[in-house]
Amino acid sequence: MEGGLRILPSPRPFRLETLMKPALPARVLAVLLCALFATEVTSSSEAVAQDRGNTPELKEMEVATVGVDLSTGSPLALLHSDWNELLPIWIGDAEAGAIARELQGVVTPRPMTHDLLVSVIADMGGTLEEVRVYEVRESTYIGMLVIRMGEGQDAPIREVDSRPSDALALAVRTGARLRVNPDLLEAVPEVNFISTEEDRPIVRMRGVTVSDPSEEYRERFSLPDREGVVVLHATQEIGSRGIEQGDLIVEVEGTRVRGAMEYLEEVRRVTASSHVRVRLIRNGEEREGELLPPRGPGRVGP
C-alpha cells in the first residue's frame, strides 16, 4: 500500500469508480454558456494574428489516456505527440470521468454535462475547431476553446477561456484539434502514472512510458513475438542509459515481465533511491538498460 493506492495484479480499471463520477454541476455549465455567448466575436484572421503575436507556434497533440498519479492519487490526462513528446495535465475527478467515458466508448442514458455543452454549441451554429493550452500560471494550466460560429473559413470565431480539463473533455467528443504551447514541453514534471483504461494499460515510471505490445505497436516498432512491454516514450536522460522508444523490455532486475502491470510492480519493488536494471530487445538483439532514481514528484494543476 502506497499513498492509499493498491496495485492490482492485472490490467483492470484503476480507481475507475472515482473517475466515473457525474460530470460538472449545472451551475458550471451556465458559466461556460455565458462565457461562450458573451465573448467578443473576432474574425479568423484576427485570431490567428493574436495567436502568432502572443505565443510561439503551437504544437499539435492528442489525448493518449487518463489515469492516476501514483504519488498523489490524483487523476490526470496524458497528452502526446506521436509518443515523441508527453505532457501530463492534472485534472479533476469529474473531468477525468468524462474523458474516460468517451475514450472507452461508454454511452450514458442521458447526456452528461460535457455532452450537453457540445450539443448546445452545435445547436447555436458553432463548431469547436480547436482546443489550446497556452501556459502554466500560478501552478494552473490555462486553456482556450476556439469555436467557429458559422460555416466557411470566413465565419467569425469565439475564443472562450477554459480549464484544459474541460476543454480536453470537449475535444475528445468532437475530434477538435488540440494544440499546446511548446514551452510547456520544455519542463515536464516527473510523474509516476497508470492509465485507467482496461483495454490499453499505459504505465509511466522514472521517465519511461510503456504499454502492452499490441499488434499496432508490434508492427510499428518491428517487435518480436515475445512477452514484455514496449517503450512508447523515454526522456533524453533515460536514452543515455540505453532505453529508447520502440524497445521491448522483457526483464526488470532479472525478473521476466509479461505486461504493463507486472512491469509496474517490479519497478516499484526496487528501493526508490536505486537504479533499476532492465533487459530489452532492440532490432532483434538483447541488451541492457537502466532506469534512473526518481527526481521526486512535480505536480502542476489542476
CATH architecture of 16-185: Roll (3.10)
Q: What does the pLDDT read at residue 18?
A: 40
Mean pLDDT of 65-92: 92
Q: What does the pLDDT read at residue 141?
A: 87
Is 263 in contact with 10 (CB distance < 8 Å)? no
| Chain Cα centroid distance, residue 129 | 19
Mean pLDDT of the residues in the chain: 82
Q: Does domain 201-291 match CATH 3.40.50.2300?
A: no
Measured CA to CA, the distance from residue 268 to residue 298 in angstroms comes to 18
Q: What does the pLDDT read at residue 147?
A: 94
Tell me the CA distances in angstroms from 263 to 217, 226, 258, one per residue in order.
17, 14, 8
Higher pLDDT, 113 or 194: 194
Q: What does the pLDDT read at residue 37?
A: 53
Query: What would the pLDDT profile of 35-45 be if each residue is shown by its tens digit?
Result: 555 444 444 33
Measured CA to CA, the distance from residue 186 to residue 160 in angstroms comes to 26
How many other CB atoms are found less than 10 A from the CB of residue 297? 14
Q: What does the pLDDT read at residue 14?
A: 38
> What whole-number percentage of the chain has pLDDT above 70?
79
Q: What does the pLDDT read at residue 55?
A: 57
Mean pLDDT of 166-195: 91
- Dihedral sign for Cα atoms in the order 153, 156, 159, 165: negative
Higher pLDDT, 60 or 30: 60
**Among 124-133, 145-154, 170-179, whose mean pLDDT is lowest?**
145-154
Higher pLDDT, 8 or 174: 174
Instruction: Map 255-299 to HEC letters.
Output: EECCCHHHHHHHHHHCCCCCCEEEEEEECCEEEEEEECCCCCCCC
Q: What does the pLDDT read at residue 110?
A: 86
Measured CA to CA, the distance from residue 139 to residue 213 in angstroms comes to 35
Q: What does the pLDDT read at residue 240?
A: 83
* H or E element at residue 170: helix 164-174
| Chain Cα centroid distance, residue 224 | 27
Measured CA to CA, the distance from residue 264 to residue 241 in angstroms comes to 19
Mean pLDDT of 245-274: 93
How many other CB atoms are found less than 10 A from the CB of residue 187? 9
Q: What does the pLDDT read at residue 44?
A: 39
pTM higher than the cut 0.85: no
Q: What does the pLDDT read at residue 298?
A: 57
pLDDT > 80? residue 296: no
The residue ranges of every structural domain in the chain are 16-185, 201-291
Return the amino acid letter for 20: M
Residue 187 banded pLDDT, cuts 50, 70, 90:
confident
Q: What does the pLDDT read at residue 42?
A: 45
Q: What does the pLDDT read at residue 41?
A: 44
pLDDT > 70? residue 285: yes
Higher pLDDT, 296 or 261: 261
| Chain Cα centroid distance, residue 211 | 14
Return the amino acid letter for 114: H
How many other CB atoms are found less than 10 A from the CB of residue 34? 10
Q: What does the pLDDT read at residue 33?
A: 55
